[in-house]
Structure 1
Amino acid sequence: MVATYEKTGFEPINLGGKDPAAIARQAFLLSFERPVCAAAAQARIAGPVKGLAGEAKGFDLAIYNPM
């Protein structure tokens, strides 16, 4: 999800990254006029996962703010 005055609705974007820190950095580097910071969350999944199945056991969080 991107919050910015440049967008008025949700748009899917592809970001790669193995962890929330890498994803937040890539989100910050998207082409916007005045990036301020970026944050990412990644669910910790427990048990066997098939597709989107599985149970979240919390989240790993990261913020990227180079200012």
Structure 2
Amino acid sequence: MQLIVNGNMAEMPDTVKTIADVKQHFNINNPVVIVEHNGDILDKETHTAQKVADGDKIELVQFVGGG
């Protein structure tokens, strides 16, 4: 399956079925991550249930501290 993640085409393995799987695929463990799926911002609680499909557009935004 191919997804558009942060504006780039990404080939996902067959094991990726949900938003939570996408986050795991990209090793995103940050507890504060904003996910937009096909234009809709998702609540964190829905990441494990929200299914993804070929061609979906996903934006993953993490906040990083520094100075």
- Fold conserved (TM > 0.5)? no
Report the TM-score when normalising by structure 1.
0.29
By relative contact order (CA 8 Å, sep 6+), the higher-ranking structure is 2
User: Which structure has the larger Rg over C-alpha atoms?
Assistant: 1
